[in-house]
Amino acid sequence: MRTLVSPLALRTPRGRVIYWTILTVTVVGFTGAFVFPLYWMVTGALKSPDELAQIPPSFFPKHFDLHVYVDAWEQLQLGVFLKNTVLYAGGAWLFTLAVDVSAAYALSKLRPIFGKLVLGAMLATLMIPPMVLLLPTYLVAKDLPIFHANLLNTPWAIWLPAAANGFFVFLLKRFFDSIPRELLEAAEIDGASPARILWSIVLPVSRPIIGVVSILSVVTVWKDFVWPLLVLPETDKMSISVGIASLSAQMPQNVLIASLVIASLPTILVFFIFQRSIMAGLTAGSLKG
């Protein structure tokens, strides 16, 4: 498809030179700005504290000794932090899907009275960023109203708020709305219950959107910092981000950097594998809301 620069102009010798120059500058610039810092991080971890303090810095580490990663893993109890984070993100994912899919299904296909009001109230929460409600939300987690439970230092403090996501309900409902009614009515006439219809008809055709919501929910919880910082203050319960941040002051520089590498590997790996869904979620989120 035709873009800003015409294909004709690109075919002229001058056009070609300009094109390849811009391409080179872009590739080099992007690599320098976005990949080089990561290279510096991975190799920085391999340098000894002396080598790290050395001016000018060495471009390649002198020794290729992976021992620092083992140190970081042990000294910072990264295994515990990672296990915690998997538990928080995985549980939040399952919980979010169960809660938000059934809510969106009810709002889209069962259409109860006050359904529009409920949807409106859920979408209204998108207007107010969670940061400004940090203190009252923390107090709720500390002393749950009615139930009077203290959720601090339990996974529930992550799972329950994660499910209250108006954006996910919106995305799912919009997708369910596009499922033809006849499909569900046929099943209804055959005597299928709403739960059965959700499980065997709606869910199978909604795989793309469930993929997007799944990845968004896992990545959101994994990356979150402020909320786990407040509700999981016990060292053994910390998520990886909070754990590293809170122990960062006591660590030798290279061990800290190694732990940063270990902490960034899972999300980068997820990005590598699920690139398409992540980018689909990005544009789905930007244009509507």
Give the range of 66-74, 123-131, 178-186, 202-210 binding another protein by CB under 8 A.
Answer: 123-131
105, 167, 170, 176: residue in contact with another protein (rule CB under 8 A): 105
Can you give the C-alpha Rg of the chain in angstroms? 24
Which pair of tokens denotes residue 215? 């990845």
Give the range of 19-27, 65-73, 74-82, 206-214 binding another protein by CB under 8 A.
Answer: 19-27
Nearest to 99 by CA among 146, 158, 157, 169: 169
Compose the 264-283 pattern: x for residues touching another protein by CB under 8 A, - for all others: x--xx-xx---x--xx--xx
Question: What is the C-alpha separation between 84 and 264, in angstroms, rounded?
Answer: 15
Question: What is the C-alpha separation between 203 and 160, in angstroms, rounded?
Answer: 22
Site for another protein in 72-101 (CB under 8 A): 98-100
Beta carbon of residue 282, minimum distance to another protein (angstroms, whole number): 6
Compose the 180-209 pattern: x for residues touching another protein by CB under 8 A, - for all others: --------------x---x-----------
Cβ(61)–Cβ(46) below 8 Å: yes
13, 60, 64, 112: residue in contact with another protein (rule CB under 8 A): 112
Site for another protein in 213-252 (CB under 8 A): 219, 222-223, 225-226, 230, 240-242, 244-245, 248
Instruction: Kindly state whether residue 288 participates in binding another protein, applying the rule CB under 8 A.
Output: yes
Token pair 């259409």 is at which residue? 111
Which pair of tokens denotes residue 282? 């990005």
Beta carbon of residue 67, minimum distance to another protein (angstroms, whole number): 20
Q: Is the dihedral of CA 159, 161, 164, 168 positive or negative?
A: negative
79, 120, 208, 289: residue in contact with another protein (rule CB under 8 A): 289
Give the CA distances from residue 191 to residues 106, 108, 171, 186, in Å, rounded to whole numbers and listed in that order. Answer: 18, 20, 28, 9
Compose the 148-187 pattern: x for residues touching another protein by CB under 8 A, - for all others: ------------xx-xx-x--x------------------
Give, to the nearest 10 degrees, the angle between helix 253-287 and helix 78-105.
10
Instruction: Kindly state whether residue 135 participates in binding another protein, applying the rule CB under 8 A.
Output: yes
Q: Which residues contact 253 (CB under 8 A, 6 or more apart)?
A: 49, 52
Beta carbon of residue 179, minimum distance to another protein (angstroms, whole number): 16
